[in-house]
Amino acid sequence: MKKFLMSLAIASVFVSFAFAEAQTRTKNEKKWTSMSYVNVPIVKILEAKDGYVVIYQKNKTGVGNVVIPKKWIKGSEKEPRKLKLRNIQGVNGAYMTVIKDDNKFKRVVLSIPMDKSKRIWGVVDSGKQLEGTDKDALEELEL
């Protein structure tokens, strides 16, 4: 009888460990997210009346550019803001972070020095009209 009770107690311990592991596994699965981001170094930012032209470094060689409308800085209750400017100081290089949710554009963060006298800043020709300042999402970056 003692052997039977002892084996029953040991079996119940193993069964409880098995259920405990299954429960922690389902709790950890909820921590995954569908959001992703990519950081790219910024070479130059050209400011215009309606937007910014960001010239960024591609992965291997060369540069790419993208137009970001200034109207994205302001948000509303229906439409959260899509552009955030973050001030960096010191020796850190400027970079752009593109955040996506389910592979759809959500927000872009420009981590740049706000002092417009820095070399990274420039101005678009006054007579030039920027194309793409009325768009609602950032196109896919060529890396």
Spatial separation of the C-alpha atoms in residues 34 and 87, rounded to whole Å? 27
Token pair belonging to 54 = 């960001």
Spatial separation of the C-alpha atoms in residues 126 and 75, rounded to whole Å? 27
Question: With 0-12 CB in 10 A as exposed, 13-18 as middle and 19+ as buried, what is 120?
Answer: middle
Confidence of residue 29 (pLDDT cuts 50, 70, 90): low
Cβ pair 69, 59 in contact under 8 A? no
Highest mean pLDDT among 17-21, 50-54, 75-79, 132-136: 50-54
Residue type, 111: S
Q: What is the pLDDT of residue 59?
A: 84
Confidence of residue 36 (pLDDT cuts 50, 70, 90): very high
Q: What is the pLDDT of residue 11?
A: 75
Q: What is the pLDDT of residue 92?
A: 78
Task: Count other Cβ atoms within 10 Å, centred on residue 99.
Answer: 16
What average pLDDT score do residues 3-23 get? 72
Cβ pair 65, 53 in contact under 8 A? yes
Q: What is the pLDDT of residue 30?
A: 63
pLDDT digits 0-9 by tens, 92-138 = 789 999 999 998 999 999 999 999 999 999 999 887 888 888 888 88
Per the model's pLDDT, the better-predicted residue between 139 and 87 turns out to be: 87
Cβ pair 110, 85 in contact under 8 A? yes
Cβ neighbours of residue 73 under 8 Å, at least 6 residues apart? 81, 83, 84, 85
Give this prediction's pTM: 0.73
